[in-house]
Structure 1
Amino acid sequence: MNVAGERHDVLLSIAVGLGVLLVFGTVTGLVPNPLYVRMVARTPADYLFLFATSAFAATFVYQRLLAAEPVGDGVAVGGVVTGVLAFGCPICNALLLALFSSSALMTYFDPLRPLLGVASMVLFVGLLYYQRVNCRRC
């Protein structure tokens, strides 16, 4: 691969990471904005999982671009969705609120959010390791 191709892959990966950070950070209220008010206090763990999800998404895209036979798109989507559930506001999530009451979400779901964040990171670490082992150019 030439230098221009490598530079393109790196820039695309950085763009994906920044896109995940800005889009999901904005819609979950971790990036302050006038359109969305978060109803649950922000915690350091929320920011940790937001940044980790963004970094893992960027790294996955970079490794995927290098792989001859890319695999793991479904696992990556699962990692991002699990990450968003981990750092998102539980009572602001319309799908969860439609399925459960806000008190049930705060009582049962909110304490599980750190575990979802860890599960998201485990999914991504496993996927990136698998890709690394099976990719000759990575």
Structure 2
Amino acid sequence: MFVDALRDAYRGLLLWDRRRIGVAAAAAAGSAVIIGFATVLIPNALFARDIPPVWWDYPVWILTSLLLGMLIASYVRSPGPASEGRSSGPDSAPEVGARGPEVASEGRSGVLGGVGGMLGWFAVGCPVCNKIALLALGYTGALTYFAPLQPLLAAVSVILLLAAVIIRLKGQYSCPLPTPERSTRS
């Protein structure tokens, strides 16, 4: 089942045009800049970091940004016959009132992507610069309890983002929206 989902996700990725690839690159770069500046993985004068980054912060940061870029780009509708008033193709907008597996997958992937992105942010950030951890645990508690959890947060973040991207890409290939021709026949 997982192999079939990966295969369908790969096929969905092959359907991407230049526009969607460009959006993925821009969204990944934007995510990298936002997360990098806020967590001071990109040195800057706006933010400070009390605890220096560890070696795994950088790969997690880049992977999180790439997956966020792909997830954001998966929501971009491809231009085509849908702009002429007809709904066709795997990425066209659903008709008003249309329901199906793509509606459920959009909500599920949106939640997974949002949670994964936030966990990735917390995973690569300074453990004592995180105001939530600092207020809940104090400085020593954040170092003692939150810092050791950051690699786990990183792993969960990447898994959730990867699942969201797979769900979106799989849906673009295996669950195309009904065209007017198909819906009149059913």
Give the structure-2-normalised TM-score. 0.66
Q: Deviations over 1:55-113 (max 9, x none)?
A: 00011122232545461112111010010111001101122212220100100110110
- Counterparts of 1:51-62 in structure 2, within 5 Å, are 51-62=62-73
Moved more, 94-103 or 80-89: 94-103
Q: Structure 2: give runs of 5+ residues left out of the alignment.
A: 1-15, 78-90, 93-101, 177-186
Aligned to 2:45: 34
Distance in 1 (alpha carbons) for counterparts of 2:140 and 2:113: 31
Q: Deviations over 1:104-134 (max 9, x none)?
A: 0100110110010000111112222222322
Between 1 and 2, higher relative CO (CA 8 Å, sep ≥ 6) is seen in 2
Query: Secondary structure of the equivalent of 2:67?
Result: helix
Aligned to 2:163: 126
Superposed CA RMSD in Å reads 2.1
Distance in 2 (alpha carbons) for counterparts of 1:22 and 1:36: 13
**Identity of paired residues, percent?**
25
Q: Which has the larger radius of gyration?
A: 2
Aligned to 1:19: 30
Moved over 6 A (4+): none
Moved more, 26-35 or 10-19: 10-19
Q: Which amino acid aligns with 2:24?
A: S
* Residue 111 of structure 2 is aligned to residue 74 of structure 1: yes
Question: Given the alignment, which residue of 105, 110, 117 partners 2:154?
Answer: 117
Q: Structure 1: give runs of 5+ residues left out of the alignment.
A: none
